[in-house]
Homo-oligomer: A and B are copies of this chain.
Amino acid sequence: MNNFQFYSPTEFIFGRETENKAGHYVKKHGGSSVLLHFGGGSAVKSGLLGRVKASLEAEGIAYTELGGVKPNPRDTLVYKGIDICRENNIDFILAVGGGSVIDSAKAIAMGVPYDGDFWDFYSGKDPEAALPVATVLTIAAAGSEGSGDSVITKEEGGLKRGAGSDLIRPRFSILNPELTCTLPAYQTACGATDIMAHVFERYFTNTTEVEITDRLCEAVLMTMIKETPRVIADPANYDARANIMWAGMVAHNNIVGVGREQDWNSHGIEHELSALYDCAHGAGLAVIMPAWMEFVYKHDIMRFAQAATRIWGCKMDFAAPENTAREGIIRFRRFLRDIGMPLTFDELGAKTDDIPALVDKFGLGDGRTGGFVKLSSEDIASIYRIAADPKLI
């Protein structure tokens, strides 16, 4: 196990009707003038935004609204949010929505006290300060409600990049599974895929002697394998939604990933797809992550065999562990297909002809990247080609 630091100071308030406590928790965490940040019309139409506003008003907390966050949130709205915060002396940002809204809120939070361009933080610079951020979560997926991460897309050129800092870990996050019971099956499945991908990015590692985090990763994955088909079949199943919602947080606040080298190439390779085609991140991951597995599994067959047996319940082929490793990848793809995810470039609407452009946009040049297997640009092209025509399916 490697040395590590772990810090997850977010206060989580989980369960039915908890959005009505938003005002109470803003006050508890020191907010007095709030930017209320949200996405499209669903938070308004469902009445959620109204309940959150009523809760702020009941505590005498002022707020300014900024809606319009889109999936794959853009830098343009972040700049606008920074201006609004400065003009209105905002001291607290409350994101009501999913990962895109929360990531946009985090970007604004870092940008407000910073003299330069907030994009610096998405180009490798560490922030020194940020406004406090909190969330009312509406979809189990990105894990942004408990993480110190944010991903933003540059409108011009479609560059999609991430930033990370403990300063943008939410002060509190309200998680009410009821809010997710009306999500369409496709979005639900995209979220579930993202959650599982967050765990797999940590699970495939070269760090040895990490039994505790291996087992915790497997715990989250087995939960997702049990609960996701339940909510696809029965969207209003509160308990299955609740298990998925908490699993989504656990998957990404890094409690399952500490002390080990992590990979994250699947996320990077996928980001180019959602940036180019504006597809859902989870759908892109369903196409890319098994393709990545198909490309790298020979690097550590026993780790893939462990995943297959412990997570997917495959029987270990002791004479040929490679068969077990391959079976685990096949089972993952079957699971994704069963919950309605695309598995190939075709099914996603991506084009094989775009592969050179995707690799070019990835921008690795002659370098290598990743934790489990260090990939070259040519390797990334191979993974896109596998995604176009997978074998272990």
Which residues from chain A sit less than 8 Å from chain B, CB to CB? 1-16, 18, 208-213, 215-216, 218-220, 222-223, 226-227, 239-240, 242-243, 246-247, 250, 255, 258-259
Contacts and interface: CB of A to CB of B under 8 A. Distances in A.
Contacts of A212: 219-220, 223, 243, 246-247, 250
- Give this chain's copy count: 2
Contacts of A226: 211
B250 A223 contact: no
A382 B87 CA distance: 69
A5 B1 contact: no
A242 B13 CA distance: 31
Contacts of A227: 211
* Most B Cβ at <10 Å: residue of A4, A10, A18: A4
A149 to B, nearest CB: 18
* Most B Cβ at <10 Å: residue of A16, A211, A227: A211
Given A8-B8, A219-B218, A250-B216, A209 B14 contact: no
A5 B9 contact: no
B211 A215 contact: no
A211 B258 contact: no
A99 to B, nearest CB: 19
B14 A259 contact: yes
A280 to B, nearest CB: 24
A208 B239 CA distance: 9
A240 B222 CA distance: 24
Given A12-B7, A223-B211, A255-B250, A1 B216 contact: no
A243 B212 CA distance: 6
Contacts of A12: 4-7
28 contacts: A1-B242, A1-B246, A2-B15, A3-B16, A4-B14, A6-B11, A6-B12, A6-B14, A7-B12, A8-B8, A9-B11, A14-B259, A208-B239, A209-B240, A209-B242, A209-B243, A210-B243, A211-B222, A211-B226, A212-B219, A212-B223, A212-B243, A213-B246, A215-B222, A215-B223, A216-B216, A219-B219, A246-B259
A145 to B, nearest CB: 12
Nearest to A209: B239
Given A223-B212, A246-B212, A258-B246, A239 B1 contact: yes
8 A-B pairs with the lowest CB-CB distances in the bound complex, closest first: A3-B15, A209-B239, A215-B219, A9-B9, A219-B219, A1-B242, A6-B12, A7-B11
A331 B255 CA distance: 29
Contact of A14 (B3, B211, B223, B242): B3
A318 to B, nearest CB: 17
* Most B Cβ at <10 Å: residue of A220, A240, A255, A259: A255
Contacts of A243: 1, 209-212
* Most B Cβ at <10 Å: residue of A4, A11, A216, A240: A216
B5 A13 contact: yes
A137 B323 CA distance: 44
A229 to B, nearest CB: 13
Contacts of A259: 14-15, 242, 246
Nearest to A176: B3
A159 to B, nearest CB: 33
Nearest to A246: B212
A177 to B, nearest CB: 8
Nearest to A172: B7
A5 B255 CA distance: 17
Contacts of A10: 7
Contact of A255 (B222, B223, B255, B258): B255
B220 A215 contact: yes
